[in-house]
Amino acid sequence: MLLLYMRQYLELWVMFDALDDSQDHRIDEVEFKKNQNLLLGWGLKMKDVMRCFREVDVNRGGVILFDEFAHWAISKKLDLADDDDAEAAGAGSGLISSSFQSTWKPSRQHQQRQGGATRSRKINWTDIAHKIPWRNDSSSKSRRKRLWQKVDRNRNGYASLAEIDSVVVKLLGLGDVFAKPVLIRSYKASCRLHKKASGKSDGFVDRKEFKSLLVYMRQYLELWIMFDDIDASHDHRLSEDEFSRASDRLINWKLDPALLSDAFIQIDANHGGMVLFDEFAHWYLFLFI
């Protein structure tokens, strides 16, 4: 159930972020009115846009906060319009600062293929959005359809992790960007998102789940960049010392300083004394959403 709630609130956050032109985590009347076509596309039926704004603005503060929007959107049964149930807005999710979003370290697999360490590079989110078309515009939909046809080579309507990995590395040339933990975590999350009638995942991604996969890839890539930046020893684990030394960066990534004191214990779910990527991603997404 927790994963389902996380998925729902991630989608709500994407909708909220799409309306929030100023990116100040608040939606004012101008932004709400300007983007009313998005609301209509998500299934909202309204006659008076400003009356609708006042309905959402429960505390009468003149702006809509995420909690207000989420409660209202759920009550109105808003849903992102597309061939499935996921979307992402803008160049980044806003989890980390724009200045940090521009850099990344090549994956360890890519470094090994290159025969050693490779320098940190600039990450081009626009290029990634083109190659991993998670957005909802007509161009992204068309590219996503073509990409699915390349992923589903057997034409059986399903894609395995190996097939997706092959396309990302060989066809899209993004093997140096998407580390294996990012692909694996994204794949598992999208498989669990649309459970079959039995209530269990079949372990494959189908066409309906494909866009969800792309959204998760984008989100978990950003989380991986954060995780890898903290991981000074590059052993794919965070020690308590590494986590403590990264406190300033975590605060820059919008973490409440008051939560830092016992954060490591909370993240280390298996009490192994080290934080793994899955634990870090689960914790950060839960806090952020």
Of the two residues 257 and 55, the one the predictor is more confident about is: 55
Query: What average pLDDT is seen over the chain?
Result: 77
User: Domain boundary at 228, 246, 278, which?
Assistant: 228
Tokens of 37: 């076509």
Of the two residues 55 and 2, the one the predictor is more confident about is: 55
Domain CATH number, residue 261: 1.10.238.10
Please tell me the predicted confidence (pLDDT) of residue 6.
57
Do 43 and 102 sit in the same domain of this protein? no
Please tell me the predicted confidence (pLDDT) of residue 99.
41
Do 118 and 154 sit in the same domain of this protein? yes
How many beta carbons lie within 10 A of that of residue 157, not counting itself? 11
Asked whether residue 39 carries a pLDDT value surpassing 80, the answer given is: yes
Picking from 131, 140, 205, 142, the residue whose alpha carbon sits closest to that of residue 170 is 131
Separation between Cα atoms, residue 26 and residue 39, nearest integer Å: 16
Do 144 and 224 sit in the same domain of this protein? yes
Please give the model's pTM, rounded to 2 decimal places.
0.61
Going from the C-alpha of 170 to that of each of 3, 120, 151, 250, the distances in angstroms are: 31, 21, 11, 34
* Amino acid of residue 133: P
The number of residues making up the chain comes to 289
Please tell me the predicted confidence (pLDDT) of residue 225.
85
User: Band of the pLDDT at 146, cuts 50, 70, 90?
Assistant: very high
Separation between Cα atoms, residue 17 and residue 218, nearest integer Å: 15
The predicted-structure confidence for 68-77, as pLDDT tens digits, reads as follows: 898 898 888 7
- Mean per-residue pLDDT for 199-225? 80
Please tell me the predicted confidence (pLDDT) of residue 203.
73
Domain range enclosing 203: 98-228
Inside any domain, residue 92: no
DSSP string, 213-239: HHHHHHHHHHHHHHHHHH-TT-SS-B-
Asked whether residue 89 carries a pLDDT value surpassing 50, the answer given is: no
Asked whether residue 124 carries a pLDDT value surpassing 80, the answer given is: no
Total domains present in the chain: 3
Do 144 and 195 sit in the same domain of this protein? yes
Tokens of 216: 């998760």
Inside any domain, residue 89: no
Do 241 and 213 sit in the same domain of this protein? no
Do 246 and 182 sit in the same domain of this protein? no
Separation between Cα atoms, residue 195 and residue 209, nearest integer Å: 10
Separation between Cα atoms, residue 248 and residue 257, nearest integer Å: 9
Inside any domain, residue 84: no
The predicted-structure confidence for 162-202, as pLDDT tens digits, reads as follows: 899 888 888 888 877 788 888 888 888 777 665 544 444 56
Picking from 108, 145, 141, 140, the residue whose alpha carbon sits closest to that of residue 126 is 140
Separation between Cα atoms, residue 25 and residue 186, nearest integer Å: 26
User: Band of the pLDDT at 8, cuts 50, 70, 90?
Assistant: low
Inside any domain, residue 121: yes
Which contacts qualify for 185-190: CB closer than 8 Å, 24 or more apart?
A: 185/216, 185/220, 185/277, 185/278, 185/281, 186/213, 186/216, 186/217, 186/219, 186/220, 187/161, 187/213, 189/3, 189/7, 189/216, 189/220, 190/216
Q: Which residues of 86-101 are buried (b: 16+ CB within 10 A; e: fewer)?
A: bbbbeebbbbbeeebb
Separation between Cα atoms, residue 174 and residue 169, nearest integer Å: 5
Inside any domain, residue 90: no
Question: What does the DSSP 8-state code read for residue 122?
Answer: E
Instruction: Answer whether 214's CB lies under 8 Å from 132's CB.
Output: yes
- Mean per-residue pLDDT for 73-95? 55
Alpha helices (runs of H) in the chain, residue ranges in sequence order: 2-19, 29-34, 36-41, 49-56, 66-76, 98-101, 108-113, 125-131, 138-151, 161-166, 180-193, 207-230, 240-245, 247-252, 263-267, 277-288
The predicted-structure confidence for 221-277, as pLDDT tens digits, reads as follows: 888 888 988 998 888 899 999 999 988 888 887 777 877 778 888 888 778 899 988
User: Domain boundary at 185, 202, 228, which?
Assistant: 228
Do 39 and 107 sit in the same domain of this protein? no
Lowest mean pLDDT among 16-20, 148-152, 176-180, 225-229: 176-180
Do 184 and 241 sit in the same domain of this protein? no
- Which residue carries 């290159």 as its tokens? 114
Query: 3-state DSSP call for residue 77?
Result: coil
Asked whether residue 110 carries a pLDDT value surpassing 50, the answer given is: no
